[in-house]
Chain A
Amino acid sequence: MPPESSPYLVIVVLMIAAVLFALTPLALAWIWAKKFSPRKPGPDKNAIYECGLESKGDAWIPFKAEYYLYAIIFLIFDVETIFLLPFAVSFTGLSAGAFVAMIIFLLLLVEGLAWAWQKGVLTWK
């Protein structure tokens, strides 16, 4: 190798080759499609629904997401369990400040549970 050429030149050449390797088949497919598989759109072919039936109405309707309640309640118990286990393990060695902080954290989660309870989510209908 001549001294003035950068050692990274090989990498650059390889990168160019890699890009060409990826792009050439795509370009060939594109050229082939232009010539031998021209686009033929139509109202049916461009339809959104593809099970044979015509779509009725508008797809842009408000969707009622009821499951957020389950997600919130799951989060309450899930997060609580994760933090309660180390809390219980190191309970005897905790300082008063850590204990208060943990109780505040628990009360915050209990508040969420109380909110859900008051909303009537816990009642099986």
Chain B
Amino acid sequence: MIDEGLRSELSKQGIFTLKLEELYNWGRKNSVWPLQFGLACCAIEMIATSMARYDLARFGAEVFRPSPRQADLMIVAGTVTKKMAPQVIRLYNQMPEPKYVIAMGACAISGGPFKQGYNVLKGIDRYIPVDVHIPGCPPRPEALLHAFMTLQKKIEEQSLTSAQRPRHLDANAPSEFPIPRYGAHDLEPPSNRNVWQPPTVTRTE
């Protein structure tokens, strides 16, 4: 293990040292392939982000894949209705590990303006683990770019061997997340308790 002082001394001489893990994560964070998957108006901003003006290609993420088998980032861009939620989670399950989720916009993170509605899921993080939440209705492309950079930082810091290693390196972690059923009144179950805990309301007199 090389210590930081020697490392910075070497880099001053033009010699860069790095761990294999850092090289791997550097490659990974610069080649995130998102799933080509838009649900509502946020998708328009996602499309704008991928186009020339905002140019998601600068981050190596312009390759929007139409198949979940080839994607490693799911941008949940828009309102997730209760009818659509099982499909979203199935698509997430079909993506290969390691995979990441950006919940884009007020609807995807909480239900947004439709939170009080009967047919809208109040946040996709009730069923799948979300890495970056972006507020906004819809968020501007800059916000999505910022979320991307946040995700890249997160990928960069992922250790392959420690206790904080990604889920797919943990043999005990489940490979798939349970898909809710579209029931008569609500999704069944209404949330995945392993992923999301309902906030505890404490009332003060």
Contact = CB atoms under 8 A, between A and B. Distances in A.
Contact of B24 (A36, A44, A45): A36
B67 A45 contact: no
A28 to B, nearest CB: 11
Given A36-B24, A50-B67, A50-B69, A44 B169 contact: no
Report the contact-size class of chain B (Cβ under 8 Å from the partner): 20 to 34
A54 B90 CA distance: 9
Given A52-B87, A53-B87, A36 B94 contact: no
Given A36-B160, A40-B175, A50-B69, A45 B93 contact: yes
B68 A50 contact: yes
A44 B179 contact: yes
B154 interface: no
Contacts of A52: 87-88, 90-91
Interface string A72-106: 00000000000000000000000000000000000
B176 interface: yes
Interface in B54-72: 67-69
Contacts of A44: 90, 93-94, 176, 179
Nearest to A32: B24
Given A40-B168, A52-B87, A45 B175 contact: yes
A44 B98 CA distance: 16
A6 interface: no
A42 to B, nearest CB: 4
By secondary structure, the B interface counts as helix
Interface in B132-146: none
A51 B94 CA distance: 9
A44 to B, nearest CB: 4
B4 to A, nearest CB: 25
Contacts of A36: 24, 160, 169
Contact of B175 (A41, A47, A50, A51): A41
Interface string A50-63: 11111000000000
Contacts of B160: 36
A53 B169 CA distance: 28
A52 B97 CA distance: 17
Given A36-B160, A50-B67, A50-B68, A43 B90 contact: no
Contacts of B169: 36, 38
Residue from A38, A43, A45, A47 with most neighbouring chain B CB atoms (10 Å):
A45
Contacts of B68: 50
A37 B168 contact: yes
Contacts of B93: 42, 44-45
Interface string B119-139: 000000000000000000000
A43 B24 contact: no
Given A50-B91, A53-B90, 15 more contacts: A36-B24, A36-B160, A37-B97, A42-B175, A44-B94, A44-B179, A45-B94, A45-B96, A45-B175, A45-B176, A47-B94, A50-B69, A51-B91, A52-B88, A54-B90
Interface of A: 36-38, 40-45, 47, 50-54
